[in-house]
Chains A and B, each alone.
Chain A
Amino acid sequence: NAGVMQNPRHLVRRRGQEARLRCSPMKGHSHVYWYRQLPEEGLKFMVYLQKENIIDESGMPKERFSAEFPKEGPSILRIQQVVRGDSAAYFCASSSDMDSIGYGYTFGSGTRLTVV
């Protein structure tokens, strides 16, 4: 049973380009969370999704950022017109229905985005 899979592991984009980060949850998990980690800082919640629904996007910047978790396929975090301040590690986590009531969830290894 593979863990949470994120790709790419590293992504370099020029300012103004689009970044697409993918997350495949663990098998049987229907809850996906995205977090951002700036250098030397803790993780900050961005968005929580279930299949085809955004449940909580209170941590998402109002502009340029969007997320989806379609019925089929991975969850996608999309950043349009990237700026240098978007450079960070982006982590995805997933949980089952049981986990989501408070027993912790599993993180992927992250995508490290560098904007040049």
Chain B
Amino acid sequence: QQQVKQSPQSLIVQKGGISIINCAYENTAFDYFPWYQQFPGKGPALLIAIRPDVSEKKEGRFTISFNKSAKQFSLHIMDSQPGDSATYFCAASSYKAAGNKLTFGGGTRVLVKP
């Protein structure tokens, strides 16, 4: 199974709050899990990524938590700002697969209210 399921579809958070987006996968061959941020009219931009040999990775206000046994991973946006309002996509791929093809989740539209 190549599917990656992402929730929620949309999220409204107050400025300074925490945004949490969850993803679940089925293919145990996946070993690279990036998150992309997309603004309207733009292409996705790599935000942060994790490999299954670590359970957490933090870059600034963005943290990925990874649970290999549950096949789940999540993005936490701390101290959310209006400029974080965008659509966020989780994705997964397999290091061993030719070409690093990404399988994307359905996306979460985040709105940060001032």
Taking Cβ atoms with an 8 Å cutoff, the residues of A that contact B are: 4, 31, 33, 35, 40-45, 48, 55-56, 58-59, 91, 93, 95, 99-110
Contacts and interface: CB of A to CB of B under 8 A. Distances in A.
A11 B61 CA distance: 37
A99 B102 CA distance: 13
Say what secondary structure dominates the interface of chain B.
Answer: loop
Contact of B42 (A33, A95, A109): A109
A102 B89 contact: no
How many chain B residues sit at the interface, stated as a range, is: 20 to 34
Interface in B94-114: 95, 98-107
Interface of B: 6, 31-32, 34, 36, 41-46, 49, 51, 89, 93, 95, 98-107
Given A43-B102, A45-B102, A104 B34 contact: yes
